[in-house]
Amino acid sequence: MYRPLIQHCNLCGAPVQHRVPAGDTHARAVCTACEHIQYENPRNIVGTLPAWEDKVLLCRRAIEPRHGLWTLPAGFMELDETTEQGALRETLEEAGAEVRIDGLYSVVNVRPVSQVYLLYRARLLEPRWDPGPETLEARLFAAGEVPWDRIAFRAVSETLRRYFDELAGGGRWRVQAFDID
């Protein structure tokens, strides 16, 4: 369920009212003083599934949310970067790993928090990594070694399950697109 985040106008600072402006179809944050319309849009999460042989590199989170749990190296896309550039940046920042992207693997709509995950299959250039400050540790896991009950986010656990299923089936990769409601 959508909960508006914008409470004040970013131009004049007056309170906003959430309503459907004339000619629009969705409620927007409309300034009560200057009528400026502000848009709230989903946030893109970009990252990689870094593989070495039959294993995937996971990072144990050093930050909230989900401190101490495992995830793929991923994070919010920044302005002025492509999704691939963001995925490479996040992999380097969180895992300290250099990878080569092999293609888009999953697109996950996480409606309750208005996020869209774009995760890329990637190959580690070397089996080396040096986790950054947002990561407690990073490790390679085969399918049977993944701490499934300690994965931080459903989008990641479902992506990993699909990846390992396809890997076991010979690695005929196709883009996984699914929703989490």
In this structure, are 34 and 109 located in the same domain? no
CA-based end-to-end distance of the chain: 9
Quote the pLDDT of residue 2: 59
Report the b/e string of 162-178 with b at 16+ CB within 10 A.
ebbebbeeeeeeeebee
Which burial class, exposed, middle or buried, applies to 158 when counting CB atoms under 10 A from its CB (0-12, 13-18, 19+)? middle
In this structure, are 138 and 55 located in the same domain? yes
DSSP 3-state assignment of 137?
Answer: strand
CATH number for the domain that contains residue 22:
2.20.70.10
CATH number for the domain that contains residue 140:
3.90.79.10
Do the Cβ atoms of 153 and 66 come closer than 8 Å? Answer: yes
In this structure, are 11 and 89 located in the same domain? no
In this structure, are 140 and 120 located in the same domain? yes
CA distance 52 to 12: 52
Domain count, the chain: 2
In this structure, are 108 and 47 located in the same domain? yes
In this structure, are 126 and 175 located in the same domain? yes
CA 137 to chain centre: 19
Positive or negative, the CA dihedral 179, 55, 45, 74 is positive
Dig out the tokens for 141 from the structure.
């896991």
Quote the pLDDT of residue 3: 66
In this structure, are 109 and 164 located in the same domain? yes
In this structure, are 33 and 47 located in the same domain? no
Range of the domain at 102: 43-180
Quote the pLDDT of residue 66: 98
Side chain identity, residue 84: E
The parts of the chain modelled with pLDDT lower than 70 are: 1-3
Strand spans (E) along the chain: 16-19, 28-31, 37-38, 43-52, 55-61, 70-71, 74-76, 99-110, 115-124, 135-141, 176-180
Task: Name the maximum alpha-carbon separation found in the chain.
Answer: 60
In this structure, are 80 and 154 located in the same domain? yes
In this structure, are 33 and 4 located in the same domain? yes
Quote the pLDDT of residue 1: 55
In this structure, are 14 and 60 located in the same domain? no
